[in-house]
Amino acid sequence: MKALILAGGEGRRLRPLTNDKPKPLLDVGGKPIIEWQIEWMKKYDIKEFVISGGYMKEKLIESLGTGAKFGVEISFVFEDEPLGTGGGIKNVESAMKGEDLFVVVNGDIITNLDLGNLVSSHSGIATISLTPLTSPYGIVETVANKVVGFREKPTIKDHWLNAGVYVMSSGVFEHLPNIGSVENITFPSLARLGLLYCVKYDHVYWRSIDNFKDFEEANTDLTNGVVFK
């Protein structure tokens, strides 16, 4: 099984860190985000990777090469213009020829979720991973007008986030836009057709590196020894 890493974004909210490299190459906890991803997916016997890039694509080639230094095979598919996540996946259709199933990961995600479970649970056209919503703020607990306690950034388990890790069947290419977002276009369409499934992951490490706060917190987490399966 192959994995596609979507590495085409400019990472504008992380400038100036992304002035001279794409976001997946940012060093977090001692190694680039994309290396964390490759090492994590190797644990599930994924050894072939397709990197979809555009912004500073030469940096991706220079850093990753053929993948030999990671013990995997890496190929690249580049965009001439930004295509969005949906267009980025559609753009690799030829590279996924012959693959009944493939994994897709956003290039700014660091996680230790059980990828094998996501693959074995796959149904329909696409199966997406979900993680509980964590409040960005601390919560004040009250009884009437009395403060009785505080909870720092609690998990809100009634609400789930798209974790940016997917398993897709080859039939997904018929549902993808040439340019546009898989989250806003393809997934709602598949949901209406009853072809979109999910796996919920509680008690896993998951971090999307969207801004400086995310970057700093993930760096602290990984430096302090988050253990990956």
CATH number, domain with residue 108: 3.90.550.10
Give a yes or no: residue 181 inside a domain. Answer: yes
Range of the domain at 50: 2-223
The mean pLDDT of the chain is 90
Q: Could you tell me if residue 229 is inside a domain?
A: no
What is the predicted pLDDT for the residue at 138?
81
Q: Is residue 57 domain-resident?
A: yes
* 155 neighbors 133 (Cβ within 8 angstroms): yes
For residue 159, is it within any domain? yes
In a domain, 228, yes or no: no
How confident is the model over 158-171, as a mean pLDDT?
92
| Residue 228 pLDDT exceeds 60 | no
Q: What is this structure's pTM?
A: 0.89
Domain-located, residue 198? yes
Does the residue 206 lie in any domain? yes
Residues with Cβ < 8 Å from 143, sequence gap 6 or more? none
Structural domain total, the chain: 1
Amino acid identity of 94? S
What is the per-residue pLDDT across 132-142, written as a single tens digit (0 to 9) for each?
A: 887 777 878 88
16 preceded by cis ω (within 30°)? Answer: yes
Instruction: Examine residue 12 and state whether it is found in any structural domain, yes or no.
Output: yes
Confidence of residue 89 (pLDDT cuts 50, 70, 90): very high
C-alpha to C-alpha distance for 134 and 3, rounded to whole angstroms: 27
Give the end-to-end CA distance of the chain in Å, rounded to a whole number.
Answer: 19
